[in-house]
């Protein structure tokens, strides 16, 4: 069925300018995997197409998780226990736990095991209407494993009806064998691996972790210079645990997004606005690490910075595979409105990935939709641990 119409829908079109953009008792016409028409009256040319009455249900764009680390080996439940017995996240990282312990588990995992465990997390996202997911490397930190991670991430889109965008995160941590020699790691491993991954067509964007336990701004700018040279967009984990200047750096490079940004300030918000960079907020990490410094949401709003929300699904700081719960946390922990939360997992999340044909319901967009058994769009962020998905449409197909 390459042509179809959905009728009697409450459509949250999610325009980038903000708000739900509701069309009541509306129609969506789909042709060859794209949206052909969206509106309150059905033009005569679509009248003969097969039509499904969705009985007043809510249609949103397919949800977009724009920041995940879905591919990794092992888990860090023991570290969770350590933290609850009093150890700090940075302390555990400095003692060889944290990201570096997941690196060991990822290096020793087979390709099949990496894909199988990522699929379980991906299936959880898909069950909530997610149709586009970003996946980062960054738990290999050697050439072979970084490439294996990116290939595994791309495999996910072969195994499931979902779009995957891959980000190279070689600058995630300094591996044990380069301890205390971050610059040598960049020169000898990270940058050559970025070039190799790019020439294999595995990289959609270049990311980094700009933090006291990872890389500083001058090291990150060396990575971004290579990204620029390769014509790849950048994004950055910035200002998660401290204020190092990563947000301003991301803005200077015209980044797609600056992510976390709990410790960013008003000047950073102004810089993001001027650069057109999306602020990606990650309440799952804030919650898991029991952080107390919330991101500067008021300043982001005042400056008109587009705000996205993502799971940051990873084994350490955010073992979270629910975008609906992420929306709820964005509202409850960061004070977003339910409409901002939904923009954050649709139009603004797509923009954080540089994907132009997802995240809004408008003619020409891909027909990636979620149909929900709810009466109002605010219900999506309101409930905790409840999934009202009725139907997920990917490329026009159920
Ligand atoms: N910030 C995060 O929240 C994750 N990576 C990053 O740079 C945490 C990754 C981990 O703890 O394994
Ligand atoms: Fe992350």
How far is the C-alpha of 158 from the C-alpha of 10, rounded, in Å? 32
Residues comprising the chain, all counted? 398
For 118-171, write each residue's pLDDT tens digit: 999 999 999 999 999 999 999 999 999 999 999 999 999 999 999 999 999 999
What's the CA-to-centroid distance between 37 and ligand 2, angstroms?
37
For 83-92, write each residue's pLDDT tens digit: 899 988 888 8
| Residue 237's pLDDT band (cuts 50, 70, 90) | very high
Average pLDDT, the chain: 97
Cβ neighbours of residue 396 under 8 Å, at least 6 residues apart? Answer: 1, 2, 4, 30, 31, 32, 33, 34, 367
For ligand 1, atom 4, the nearest C-alpha belongs to: 317
- Mean predicted confidence (pLDDT) in 357-374: 98
pLDDT of residue 285: 97
CA distances from 34 to 207, 326, 365 (A): 30, 28, 6
Cβ neighbours of residue 136 under 8 Å, at least 6 residues apart? Answer: 67, 68, 69, 166, 167, 168, 169, 172, 207
Q: Give percent above pLDDT 70 in the chain.
A: 100
Query: Closest ligand 1 atom, CA of 76?
Result: 12
Sign of CA dihedral 386, 283, 288, 131: positive
- Mean predicted confidence (pLDDT) in 227-235: 98
pLDDT of residue 90: 84
pLDDT of residue 324: 98
pLDDT of residue 31: 97
pLDDT of residue 144: 98
How far is the C-alpha of 91 from the C-alpha of 80, rounded, in Å? 13
pLDDT at 207 over 60: yes
- Beta carbons within 10 angstroms of residue 356's beta carbon: 12
- Mean predicted confidence (pLDDT) in 238-264: 97
Give the angle 368-373-375 at the CA atoms, nearest 5°.
110
Phi and psi torsions of 291, nearest 5°: -70, 160
pLDDT of residue 91: 86
For 258-312, write each residue's pLDDT tens digit: 999 999 999 999 999 999 999 999 999 999 999 999 999 999 999 999 999 999 9
For ligand 1, atom 7, the nearest C-alpha belongs to: 209
What's the CA-to-centroid distance between 67 and ligand 2, angstroms?
6
Phi and psi torsions of 348, nearest 5°: -75, -30
pLDDT of residue 100: 86
| pTM of this prediction exceeds 0.95 | yes
pLDDT of residue 1: 57
Let me know if 123 is exposed, middle or buried by CB neighbors in 10 A (0-12, 13-18, 19+).
middle
For ligand 1, atom 11, the nearest C-alpha belongs to: 316
Both tokens assigned to 151: 């290939």
Query: Closest ligand 1 atom, CA of 209?
Result: 7
For ligand 1, mutation pick of 105, 174, 260, 317 (most atoms within 8 Å of CB): 317
């Amino acid at each position: 069925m390459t042509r179809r119409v959905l009728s009697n829908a409450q459509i949250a079109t999610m325009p980038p300018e903000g708000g739900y953009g509701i069309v009541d008792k509306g129609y969506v016409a789909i042709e060859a995997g794209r949206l052909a028409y969206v509106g309150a009256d059905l033009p005569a040319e679509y009248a003969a197409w097969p039509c499904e009455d969705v009985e007043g249900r809510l249609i949103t764009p397919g949800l977009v998780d724009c920041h995940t680390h879905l591919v990794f080996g092992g888990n860090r439940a023991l570290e969770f226990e350590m933290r609850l017995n009093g150890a700090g996240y940075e302390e555990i990282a400095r003692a060889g736990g944290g990201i570096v312990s997941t690196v060991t588990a990822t290096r020793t995992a087979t390709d099949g095991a990496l894909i199988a465990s990522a699929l379980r997390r991906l299936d959880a996202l898909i069950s909530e209407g997610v149709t586009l997911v970003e996946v980062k490397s960054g738990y290999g930190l050697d050439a072979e494993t970084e490439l294996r991670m990116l290939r595994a991430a791309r495999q996910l889109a072969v195994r499931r009806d979902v779009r995957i965008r891959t980000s190279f995160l070689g600058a995630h941590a300094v591996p044990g064998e380069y301890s205390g020699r971050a610059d040598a790691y960049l020169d000898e491993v990270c940058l050559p691996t970025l070039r190799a991954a790019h020439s294999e067509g595995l990289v959609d964007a270049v990311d980094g972790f700009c933090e006291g336990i990872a890389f500083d701004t001058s090291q990150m700018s060396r990575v971004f210079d290579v990204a620029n040279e390769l014509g790849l967009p950048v994004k950055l984990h910035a200002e998660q645990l401290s204020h190092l200047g990563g947000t301003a750096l991301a803005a200077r490079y015209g980044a797609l997004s600056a992510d976390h940004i709990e410790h960013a300030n008003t000047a950073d918000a102004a810089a993001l606005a001027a650069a057109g960079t999306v602020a990606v907020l990650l309440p799952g990490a804030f919650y898991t690490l029991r952080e107390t410094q919330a991101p500067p949401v008021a300043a982001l709003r005042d400056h008109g910075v587009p705000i996205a929300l993502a799971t940051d699904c990873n084994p350490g700081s955010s073992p979270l595979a629910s975008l609906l719960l992420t929306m709820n946390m964005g509202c409850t922990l960061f004070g977003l409105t339910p409409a901002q939360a939904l923009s954050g997992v649709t139009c603004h999340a797509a923009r954080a990935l540089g994907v132009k044909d997802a995240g809004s319901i408008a003619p020409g967009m891909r027909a990636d939709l979620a149909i929900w058994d709810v009466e109002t769009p605010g219900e999506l962020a309101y409930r905790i641990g409840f999934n009202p998905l009725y139907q997920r449409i990917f490329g026009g197909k159920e």
